[in-house]
């Protein structure tokens, strides 16, 4: 992973604030130099569980949390990192930037990034595993927008088609309910996703259905809150990336997740089963 900011390489010490890690206090090449996969998702407890499950699957001890802050967790199982990113693009962006810097200092190479998450489906059955073919922002452009020094800066959202295709092929072999399509990245959970159950709602049910129908016609199959930042940041860094999210509900039918806890856990495990099988 090669940094695109020369100042990083020449700094005497680079403190990764939200991980609580210093580029000089730990031997980063020894600890992280062999990393080939970074698996990321929202929940810290979920990713501890994933790391523990993967450690059991490959026959290594349960990993300790390598993060030294309370913002994110980092678990390492062999050549795989499991890192949570919180909710929304700003939190994910911080995690990704510091992970890329970490891997740069560790002199890691040929690393794949995969986001595993939950989402709202658009015209797909609950439990469907959506492998993103692209990521759209709130303006329905395949861009991640930043405001830098008062200027709007847009970066294209780039995912690896080969990695996504390999995951789709494996999912079919595993008989997982798989869907390929674009992902809408909303800036919030309620109005930005046209929910009717928020504190505010200044549109009608027909407005909601018209919008979701238009999304479906454009190839959108799910909605979440991180995909544009994930796809654009990994694309700028020149690393391969994919997004695998299970749909917990069909937003054309429901706004609230009403499935049982047991069903939720089973649905939530599907992206992990696919990605961990692919890595193994």
Ramachandran category for residue 244: left, alpha or beta (phi over 0 → left; psi -120 to 50 → alpha): beta
Q: Is 193 annotated as a binding residue?
A: yes
| 81 Cβ neighbours under 8 A, 6+ residues apart | 32, 35, 37, 38, 39, 74, 75, 99
Q: Strands 129-136 and 80-84: what pairing?
A: unpaired
Q: Is 121 annotated as a binding residue?
A: no
Quickly tell me which residue has 């692919």 as its tokens: 278
Rounded to whole angstroms, how far apart are CA atoms 255 and 242? 26
Ramachandran category for residue 52: left, alpha or beta (phi over 0 → left; psi -120 to 50 → alpha): alpha
Rounded to whole angstroms, how far apart are CA atoms 80 and 142? 29
| 166 Cβ neighbours under 8 A, 6+ residues apart | 278
Quickly tell me which residue has 């190479």 as its tokens: 109
Q: Is 198 annotated as a binding residue?
A: no
Q: Is 115 annotated as a binding residue?
A: yes
Q: Is 251 annotated as a binding residue?
A: no
- Binding-site positions read 71, 115-118, 193, 195
- Binding-site positions for phosphate read 71, 115-118
- Binding-site positions for substrate read 193, 195
């Amino acid at each position: 992973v090669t940094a695109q900011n020369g100042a990083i390489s020449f700094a005497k010490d680079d403190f990764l604030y939200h991980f609580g890690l210093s580029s000089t206090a730990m031997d980063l090449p020894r600890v992280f130099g062999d990393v080939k996969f970074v698996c990321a998702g929202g929940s810290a407890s979920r990713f501890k569980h994933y790391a523990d499950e993967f450690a059991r699957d490959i026959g290594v001890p349960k990993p300790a949390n390598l993060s030294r802050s309370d913002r994110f967790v980092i678990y390492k199982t062999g050549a795989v990192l499991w890192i949570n990113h919180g909710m929304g693009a700003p939190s994910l962006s911080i995690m990704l930037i510091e992970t890329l810097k970490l891997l740069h200092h560790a002199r890691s190479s040929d690393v794949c990034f995969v986001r595993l998450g939950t989402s709202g489906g658009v015209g797909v059955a609950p439990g469907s595993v959506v492998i993103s073919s692209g990521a759209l922002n709130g303006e329905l452009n395949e861009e991640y927008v930043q405001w830098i020094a008062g200027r709007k800066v847009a970066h294209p959202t780039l995912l690896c088609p080969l990695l996504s295709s390999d995951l789709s092929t494996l999912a079919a072999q595993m008989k997982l309910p798989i869907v390929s399509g674009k992902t809408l990245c909303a800036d919030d959970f309620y109005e930005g996703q046209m929910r009717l159950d928020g504190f505010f709602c200044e549109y009608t049910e027909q407005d909601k259905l018209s919008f979701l129908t238009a999304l479906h016609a454009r190839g959108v199959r799910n909605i979440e809150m991180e995909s544009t930042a994930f796809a654009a940041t990994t694309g700028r860094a020149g690393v391969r990336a994919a997004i695998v999210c299970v749909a917990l509900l069909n937003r054309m039918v429901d706004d609230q997740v009403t499935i049982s806890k047991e069903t939720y856990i089973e649905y939530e495990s599907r992206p992990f089963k696919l990605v961990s099988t692919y890595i193994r």
